[in-house]
Amino acid sequence: MTPALDRIRVGSAPDSWGVWFPDDPRQVPWERFLDEVAEAGYSWIELGPYGYLPTDPARLTDEVDKRNLKVSAGTVFTALHRGPAVWESTWEHVGRVAALTQAMGAHHLVVIPSFWRDDETAEIIEPSELTAEQWGHLGRGMERLGREVKETYGLDIVVHPHADTHIDTEEHVGRFLDATDSGLVNLCLDTGHYAYCGGDSVKLIETYGERIGYLHLKQVDPEILADVVANGVPFGPAVQRGVMCEPPAGVPALEPVLAAAQGLGVDLFAIVEQDMYPCPPDRPLPIAVRTRAFLRSCGA
C-alpha cells in the first residue's frame, strides 16, 4: 500500500498550460486555464506571470472561488546580484505581486533569479558565473527581500534554482544557502530544473531539509537533456525540444522525492509544472489529468 503523503499539498500552475508571459497570443486564455486546472482535479494554483490572471483581488477571488481553487503563491523575477542600485525597481515589482498574493490568502512568494540569457532570444546578456562581489550582493539582497516581504506582506520567500540563472547547479545552490539566513530565505526546489542542472533532489532534501520551503514537481527527458548539455542549447529552445516531460517518463523519479519531503515533517506545497512553451491549446489538459492520477498513485 502506498503511504499517504499527508504533509504534501499538490497543485498546478499556468506554466503547465504553456504560459510564460503575462500576455501572449500563443497562450491559452486565463479563463480556460482556470477551468481546466479545476477539471484536472487540482485545488491549488500559483498566480503565474503577473498580469496573466486578473490582478484585481476581488475579481480574481470570485474567479477562483467559483472553481473551488485556492492560490498557493505568487512569482517574481529579481536581479539582486546587481547590487543596491536595482533595489528600488525590484521592490516596486515585488510589491505589486506580493500584495496580490497576500490578498489571495497565500503565504509564499517564489523568487526566480534573472536569466543570464534573454528569455525570448536566448542571447547571452551576462556572464554565467558571478563574481565574489556579486555573490555578496545576491545573498544580502535576498535576505533583505525576505525580511521586507515578511514584514510588509506576511509572506515567506522561497528562492527557485532555475536553468540559465546563477542559482542552478548543486555547487551554486549550496553556496547560496550557506551564505543566507534560514530565518529569511528558503528554497523552492524545482525537481526538473535541479535535474536539468545536474543536481540530486533527494540529496538536497536530505542535506538542506530545513531550507526546503516549497516544491515544484517536474521531470526532464534524459536523452533530450544529454543533447542539450552536449550542445549548449539554451533553456527556451530546450523546452521547445521537449526537455521537460510528462511524469513518470523522466527524471528524477518523483516517488522518492515526495517520500523525502514527507519525511521532513512539515507541510509543503508541491506544485506541478511542465514547461512546454509554446504548446497547442488542447495539449495541457490531458497531460494534467494523467499527472494528477499519477501523483495520487504516489499517495499525494
What is the amino acid identity at position 188? C
pLDDT digits (tens, 9 = 90+) for 33-75: 999 999 999 999 999 999 999 999 999 999 999 999 999 999 9
For the chain, helix, strand, coil in percent to 5 are 45, 15, 40
Average pLDDT over residues 162-174: 97
- The two beta strands, 244-245 and 219-220, are antiparallel
Cα separation values, 26 from 39, 164, 247, Å = 22, 23, 24
Asked whether residue 118 carries a pLDDT value surpassing 90, the answer given is: no
Cell of 195: 535535474
Backbone angles phi, psi at 264, to 5 degrees: -70, -20
Asked whether residue 1 carries a pLDDT value surpassing 80, the answer given is: no
Percentage, residues of the chain above pLDDT 90: 96
Q: Residue 121 has what pLDDT?
A: 78
Q: Residue 4 has what pLDDT?
A: 83
Cα separation values, 12 from 4, 57, 140, 192, 260, Å = 19, 20, 31, 14, 20
Nearest to 265 by CA among 194, 205, 176: 205
Asked whether residue 117 carries a pLDDT value surpassing 80, the answer given is: yes
pLDDT digits (tens, 9 = 90+) for 172-196: 999 999 999 999 999 999 999 999 9
Please, are residues 244 and 220 in contact by the beta-carbon 8 Å criterion?
Answer: yes
Asked whether residue 207 carries a pLDDT value surpassing 70, the answer given is: yes
Please, are residues 178 and 210 in contact by the beta-carbon 8 Å criterion?
Answer: no
188 strand-pairing partners: 214
Cα separation values, 80 from 58, 89, 135, 197, Å = 32, 10, 9, 21
Average pLDDT over residues 103-124: 91
